[in-house]
């Protein structure tokens, strides 16, 4: 992948199969994305396809495709997590 000659395809295939097996056991998956951008949208596509609910934290591209199932926060990862936890910068 991307010129990495040491790439272990068998390991990737095993991890992918483990993920597929795990997804079969989850009824309502919550995905919290931290900084998943639009240039290489693999994470965004995964979340949009599998998430029951989606929280997308990204300062430049927080939009979610379905506002009934997700929310986008236009901020950095730490600020977004703090907001979800109800923390302020003074509480650290």
* DSSP assignment of 47-75: HHHH-SEEEEE-SS----S-TTTEEEE-S
Q: Indicate whether 34 belongs to any domain.
A: yes
Residue 8 lies in a domain: no
Q: What is the pLDDT of residue 89?
A: 62
Q: Which residues partner with 57 through β-bridges? A: 34, 73
Residue 32 lies inside a defined structural domain of this protein: yes
In this predicted structure, what is the pLDDT of residue 88?
Answer: 74
Look at residue 35 and tell me if it is in a domain. Answer: yes
List the domain range (segments joined by +) for residue 39.
27-91
Would residue 56 count as lying in a domain? yes
- Residue 1, pLDDT score: 52
Residues paired with 34 in a beta bridge? 57
CB 12 within 8 A of CB 37: no
Q: How far apart are the first and last CA of the chain?
A: 39
- Specify if 10 maps to a domain: no
Q: Work out how many domains the chain is built from and give that number.
A: 1
Question: pLDDT, tens digit, for every residue of 5-63?
Answer: 788 889 999 999 999 999 999 999 999 999 999 998 999 999 999 999 999 999 999 99
Q: Is it the case that residue 91 has pLDDT exceeding 60? A: no
Rounded mean pLDDT, 59-68: 96
Neighbours of 16 (CB within 10 A): 10
Flag whether 84 is in a domain.
Answer: yes
Distances (CA, A) of 56 to 3, 8, 30, 41, 64: 30, 30, 11, 13, 7
pLDDT at 87: 87
């Amino acid at each position: 992948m991307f010129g990495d000659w040491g790439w272990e395809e068998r390991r990737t295939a095993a991890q992918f199969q483990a993920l597929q097996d795990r997804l079969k056991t989850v009824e309502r998956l919550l995905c919290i994305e931290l900084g998943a951008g639009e240039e290489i949208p693999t994470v965004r596509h995964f979340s949009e396809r599998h998430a029951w609910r989606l929280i997308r934290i990204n300062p430049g591209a927080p939009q979610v495709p379905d506002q009934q199932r997700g929310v986008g926060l236009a901020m950095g990862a730490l600020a977004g997590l703090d907001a979800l936890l109800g923390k302020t910068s003074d509480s650290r």
